[in-house]
Structure 1
Amino acid sequence: MELHGLDTEHEVFFYEQEFYVLSNFSAFSLMWQGHRFPTSEHAYHWEKFSPGQTDGKVDVRAEILNARSAHDAFKMGRQWGSLRRPDWDEVKVEVMRGILRAKADQHEYVRRKLLATGDRTLIENSWRDDFWGWGPNRDGQNMLGRLWMALRTELRAQASPQDT
């Protein structure tokens, strides 16, 4: 087993290194809701806003869709945070689940890398984000890692259907 950075025999940290492919900032475009997004980060922040939402000057969703980088899409999502759709906190996990599934469905390499993590715990090694990652104190919810692990379980079940 090849280990990188903080990886152990029991944990994979995918904020960078070998499994960066699982990061929403990794350069894997995807079709989502009829649009081609440069990264899953773009799609996630685009979903935060209702269709036609403007800041008084620009269409927020169009700006995010066309952002030059995942980092720019992230910054735009934060910049216009006060304009977020009112149900965002209730739907964001399911939205992310769908985006991750689309990314894996559309990129065989992503599926292979996800399955190559074996049974190890997947952790988004984000020192900032204690919801999607493990945060500054390494005790965050790691929701992104949890969603990837659930998807990994689904992919395995599809690859080897159980006897009924």
Structure 2
Amino acid sequence: MSVNEIRFYEPDEPYGFLSNFYPAPIEVDGESWATTEHFYHAQKFTDPELQRRMQIASTPCEAFKLSRELAHFVRGDWIDVRYDIMHFAVMEKFIQNHDLCQLLLETAPATLIENSPCDSYWGCGGKDDGENKLGLILMSVRAQFSVRTRHV
């Protein structure tokens, strides 16, 4: 690991606030979500009842697991929209949780890497050759907030 990179994964570890499992509630369209993970998995479904099941899951891990169990109900365009939905959720997390936004800004200029051994899309994957899409989103959001703070 380089001093120019920050790896994160578990919400209770250093830089865990970057994880979607971190307890940072967001509100979207008048609905409250305990974590961005809850919100993200709910968006896989168009059925309001299935979305509600994700919303009331007791933990982000439960929401993740439940969305896997209900995979046959996932909307047909999910692969096409998942990145934009994640970007939206992450942006809302840092807009609505000012203390976390400040912590995110303090990570600059480090490269942010979701150190997931099993996710090669959102994270770095088991062989460190993943796409790290969550890290890229976080750095994009950080850059957007950095520009905003300079112009305030």
**TM-score range for the pair, normalised by the shorter chain length:** over 0.9
1:11 corresponds in structure 2 to: 5
CA drift of 1:87 comes to: 0.8
Selected match of 1:134 from 124, 128, 138: 124
Q: How does 1:41-80 map to 2 (within 5 A)?
A: 41-52=37-48, 59-80=49-70
Q: Secondary structure at the match of 1:18?
A: coil
Q: Percent identity?
A: 32
Q: CA separation in 2, counterparts of 1:63 and 1:121?
A: 35
Q: CA separation in 2, counterparts of 1:71 and 1:157?
A: 34
Instruction: Note the alpha carbon deviations across 1:86-127, whole angstroms, 9 max, x for none.
Output: 111101000001000100000011101111111110000000
Q: CA separation in 2, counterparts of 1:101 and 1:20?
A: 16
Q: How does 1:20-99 map to 2 (within 5 A)?
A: 20-52=16-48, 59-99=49-89
CA drift of 1:33 comes to: 3.2
Q: CA separation in 2, counterparts of 1:33 and 1:135?
A: 33
Worse overlay, 9-18 or 95-104 = 9-18
CA drift of 1:14 comes to: 1.5
Q: CA separation in 2, counterparts of 1:148 and 1:107?
A: 14
Q: CA separation in 1, counterparts of 2:29 and 2:135?
A: 23
Query: Which AA in structure 1 matches 2:4?
Result: H
Give 1 or 2 for the bigger CA radius of gyration: 1
Selected match of 2:108 from 106, 112, 118: 118
CA drift of 1:159 comes to: 0.8
Q: Secondary structure at the match of 2:46?
A: coil
CA drift of 1:9 comes to: 1.4
Superposition misfits of 4+ residues, deviation over 6 angstroms: none
Selected match of 1:100 from 90, 99, 105: 90
Aligned-residue RMSD, C-alpha: 1.3
The size of the alignment, in residue pairs, is: 150
Q: CA separation in 1, counterparts of 2:9 and 2:29?
A: 26
Structure 1: 5+ residue stretches without partners: 1-5, 53-58
